[in-house]
Amino acid sequence: MKGIYKRELKSYFYSMIGYVFIAFLVAFVGIYFMAYNLNMGYPYFSYTLSGGLFILLIAVPILTMKSFSEERRSKTDQLLLTAPVTLGQIVWGKYLAMVTVFAVPNLIFCLFPLMIKASGQAYLKVDYCAILAYFLMGCAYIAVGMFLSSLTESQIIAAISTFGVLLVLYLWNGLVDFLPTDAGGNLAGVLLLWSLLAFGVYQMARNWILAGLLEVVGAAAGIAVYFLRPSWMERLLPDVLGRLSLSDGFTSIVNERLLDVSSLFLVVSVIVLFVFLTIQTIQKRRWS
């Protein structure tokens, strides 16, 4: 894995993508820092960093779009798949290389609270917790982008699809508010999501029996709950999906000065999930 990691890390700086990515993030957050913290004298860098959330939707697709799509397009993925390393080591090596590139601007961000403290009052604990949450959320976005890159040979398609998915995650709380609250609407939503899950299982296992059994059992359970305990279905989707917002941990630090460990655990779980899905996607292509 170390060889894959070094190879990928060097490629980001040989192609200038790494330098552009770092400069782009630092420049964008630096503008907010100058406006809010230096000119207006606002003591919280965490509030300034919240302005940099949207820029991740643009910067992360640029970083992740070539991770696997370029390998597929140039057919060099065959060399990786026949290398004397496991598939998991290949994926983790590529992922950690992108995380390292993303860590550089975050390390630079760590200097900003010290600059605020040198000028007056500062809240270092809050600011550094916000930087940690921002970094973890960016790592989750990178994992999503890497997975989408593994699905296509086109870097453009990988970048656009990553931007679309990250935009949905960015607007997650607002989109959840549009979900139905009645039992019937929630039943329909649950059945739809369960069907998508069964389809995903089929795509990974290519087993119609397993996917069909999963679909039938899930649909029967949902319908039974709807008729026996309809109150359980009311607001089920808004309540459950509302807890899956990746930005809640960061916003709780910025707005309430509280470190929500459960939200950070959710972000780490998303990272592990999408790295696992990337491994399974490549594994499926290896044997197809």
Helix (H, G, I), strand (E, B) or coil at 215: helix
Per-residue pLDDT of 127-165, as tens digits, reads 999 999 999 999 999 999 999 998 888 889 999 999 999
Which residues have a Cβ under 8 Å from the Cβ of 76 and sit 6 or more positions away? Answer: none
Question: Percentage helix, strand, coil, to 5, in the chain?
Answer: 80, 0, 20
Largest CA distance in the chain: 66
Q: What confidence tier does 108 reach under pLDDT thresholds 50, 70, 90?
A: very high
Whether the CB-CB separation of 221 and 272 falls below 8 Å is answered with: no
pLDDT range class, residue 211, cuts 50, 70, 90: confident
Give the pLDDT band of residue 197 (cuts 50, 70, 90).
confident
27: part of which helix (H) or strand (E)? helix 17-32
Q: How high is the pLDDT of residue 60?
A: 93
Tell me the two tokens of residue 226.
């709807």
On the question of pLDDT at 282 being above 90, the answer is: no
Put simply, whether the predicted model's pTM sits higher than 0.85 gets the answer yes
At residue 142, the pLDDT reads 95
Residues 79-103 have pLDDT tens digits of 666 666 788 888 899 999 999 999 9
Residue 33 DSSP class: I
Average pLDDT over residues 59-65: 91
Burial of 161 (0-12, 13-18, 19+ CB in 10 A): buried
Cα separation of the two ends of the chain:
24
Mean pLDDT of the chain: 85
- The model's confidence at residue 75, banded by pLDDT at 50, 70 and 90, is low
Distance, C-alpha 85 to centroid of its chain: 26
pLDDT in tens, 3-36: 788 888 888 888 888 899 999 999 999 998 988 8
Query: Three-state SS string across 189-216, please?
Result: HHHHHHHHHHHHHHHHHCCHHHHHHHHH
The 10s digit of each residue's pLDDT in 221-268 is 888 888 888 888 888 888 888 878 888 888 888 888 888 888 889 999
